Amino acid sequence: MDNPPPVALTIAGSDSGGGAGIQADLKTFHAFGVFGCSAITAVTAQNTLEVAAVHVVPEELVREQIRVVASDIPPNAVKTGMLANTALVETVADAIDEHRLPNYVLDPVMISTSGRRLLDREAEETIRRKLIPLAAVVTPNLHEAHILTGLTVESPHDLVDAARAILDLGAQAALVKGGHLPGDEAIDLLLSEEGEFTWSRPRISTAAGHGTGCTLSAALTAGLAAGRPLVEAVAAAVDFVARALADAPGLGRGRGPINHFVKVLPGGPSGPEGREGGRVREGSEGPEGPEGSE
């Protein structure tokens, strides 16, 4: 091939139900026209109802998976999801640093959709200390933002405070997902050196939603791998997840997966209006600034 595709690497757990984790990441990379590589950190037995079992992959094998990919198919961007324990967090942090892996997106997966803990509590401080300073962007939901920062996140203004606290920990940018905030609007907020950006859209009433966080961070990673600027990559990722959620296939008896077959809009959302039904604005005045989405 004269023009090989951009490459993205996901370092995360495997979801046997196919809706989240490595499976969701690779589907999303493919949708965005990005070649996906993977390093599996854990094998889970799960479906839309539960995570029935977890087997953590030894850190030596995780380290070797990353090494062989980086040495032969160097990624243009990398993301992490489920890292399970302190040893794996440290292993992955060392590998990202050693191989100089660019455009690192940290999705701090801690608890599954069904409520099972996917990260040891002891590893939380290691994420703060070793992974966040390496990250181009961190993508926590409200619960994860609270754990990482100690702040209560209950309003759009709290999203700004949490994002700023994550930047204070060393990240270049933070995308705090406000989908669980009360109200009719779903809100996401991005804070970086470029400014403060928020996206908002009407909340979707659905039984689906398994894998939305994995898919959002994977779509963002794909955008960065393809050379998109951060704000544009976030806008395209937010749009993709919103449409995938709205068009969920209705699989399973619990919190079902979203539809990874929806089309990626050429160039992503264009202009300041973002996708239909959503808004994106830039500002720097805290609560008087932009309003957003999830």
Q: Which regions in the chain score pLDDT beneath 70?
A: 1, 267-294
Q: What is the pLDDT of residue 1?
A: 67
Residue 178, CA atoms < 13 Å, CB-side half-sphere: 32
7-288 has which CATH code? 3.40.1190.20
Note the pLDDT of residue 274.
33
Give the per-residue pLDDT at 85: 94
Please give the angle made by the CA atoms of 173, 177 and 179, to the nearest 5 degrees: 165
* Three-state DSSP state, 274: coil
Strand 77-80 versus strand 7-15 pairing type:
parallel
Beta bridge mates, 119: 84
pLDDT at 179: 78
Residue with tokens 């994106």: 280
CA distances in angstroms from 46 to 13, 110, 249, listed in the order given? 11, 16, 18
Per-residue confidence (pLDDT) for residue 204, from 0 to 100: 86
What pLDDT score does 294 carry? 30
Measured CA to CA, the distance from residue 193 to residue 151 in angstroms comes to 21
The whole-number pLDDT of residue 284 equals 32
Q: Look-up: residue for tokens 């989908």?
A: 179
Q: Would you state the pLDDT for residue 56?
A: 96
User: Residue 245 is encoded by which pair of tokens?
Assistant: 């959620």
> How many other C-beta atoms lie within 10 A of the C-beta of residue 141?
22
Per-residue confidence (pLDDT) for residue 70, from 0 to 100: 98
For the chain, the structural domain boundaries read 7-288
pLDDT at 170: 98
d(CA 153, CA 68): 40
Query: What is the predicted pLDDT for the residue at 184?
Result: 81
d(CA 104, CA 191): 16
CA distances (Å), origin 147, targets 122, 143, 191, 263: 12, 6, 18, 34
196-210 residue pLDDT tens? 999 998 888 888 999
Residues 6+ apart with CB under 8 A from 97: 134
Query: What is the pLDDT, as a whole number, of residue 286?
Result: 30
